[in-house]
Homo-oligomer: A and B are copies of this chain.
Amino acid sequence: MQLTMPLDMHLHLRDEDMLHNIAKDSVHTFSGAVVMPNLVPPVTTKESLLAYKKRILDAIGDEKFTPYMTLFFKPSYDKAFLESIRDELTAIKLYPAGITTNSEGGVSGFDVEELRPTLQAMSELDIPLCIHGETNGFVMDREAEFVSIYEKLANAFPKLKIIMEHITTKQSVEALDRHENLYATITLHHLLLTLDDVAGGMLQPHLFCKPIAKRPEDRDALLKVALEAHPKVMFGSDSAPHPREAKESCGCAAGVFTAPIALQVLAELFESKNASVENLQAFVSNNAQRIYGVKPMDKTVILEKKPFKVPSDYNGVVPIYANQEIAYSVKEVIYG
């Protein structure tokens, strides 16, 4: 099986030691990825964005890969600033305050007029807005409750591309078709898991993430649009590394580490559901190219149906399916 120019439209590469520990393994099979800006402090200036990009390029060494850089949303970015950074900027990521890892400086309340300066400028400059859409309500309701905010913003800024990031519910899937300017990323783990996998048997910290995996009917709704390669959905791993000790402890951090084996597992999943390779190709690349208007660097990933034993960890970060066997292996990655 051959996938060309695979893209991960939602990736956490972190910084410093963690960046160096996981960067190469996270990007090896992708032509590019939208890199999240929730560092400490978050990426909010041209200087910090360019410096972070340089650190990423240093960390990946000889891997051929484009980090699509993002800013951490602030309500008052002005248009001149965004114009000055436009060539280096792929999207802006909006976090509700305190909703996930390193999101303390995010948005509280979603008053359209308060957000207008940045959103109007983004709309005019055609910069996509990526949103982690959760309220601070009950954990199983947070995303469904946020749909009305997605819709309010979609209505207020009809030319702004709004990406509902890592959607987990049928309510978000349904919203896709109600608004021309709403799009979505879907992770690998939300195509695989429900809350049963996280907390139905033993509690599984390495499968705990935000948004938390939801009900079977939610996963089925996600699977449907992914497998049919709905033109408004894209693969975004939300691969989020934490050290093993931050996961297996009293107070486990949120995030599932999937990037190194994401394409392989997606290949197995699509095959098991009788979805075509063409649909997988659209889900992991073509849809994103069209929605974001990006031209990824040439990279072809050849997968073969040969069992692969997933490592127990990648430099101390435990991946999904650690120590388990998956059906597909990476045979070759061809550049250029």
Contact = CB atoms under 8 A, between A and B. Distances in A.
Interface of A: 138-140, 194-196, 198-200, 202-206, 208, 212, 215-216, 247-254, 318, 322
Contacts of A196: 138-139
A247 to B, nearest CB: 8
8 contacts: A139-B200, A140-B215, A205-B205, A205-B252, A248-B248, A248-B250, A250-B318, A250-B322
Contact of A253 (B194, B202, B215): B202
A206 B138 CA distance: 20
A208 B208 CA distance: 13
Given A138-B196, A139-B196, A248-B249, 4 more contacts: A138-B215, A203-B203, A203-B254, A248-B248
B250 A138 contact: no
| Dominant SS among interface residues on chain A | loop
A204 B322 CA distance: 22
A250 B212 contact: no
Query: How many copies of the shown chain assemble into the complex?
Result: 2
A124 to B, nearest CB: 38
Contacts of A215: 138, 140
A215 B142 CA distance: 13
A196 B308 CA distance: 36
A203 B322 CA distance: 19
Given A248-B248, A248-B249, A249-B248, A254 B202 contact: yes
Contacts of A212: 199
A322 to B, nearest CB: 8
Contact of A208 (B195, B199, B206, B322): B199
Contacts of A318: 250
A324 B249 CA distance: 17
B199 A139 contact: yes
A200 B200 CA distance: 16
A195 B140 contact: yes
Contacts of A199: 139, 198-199, 208, 212
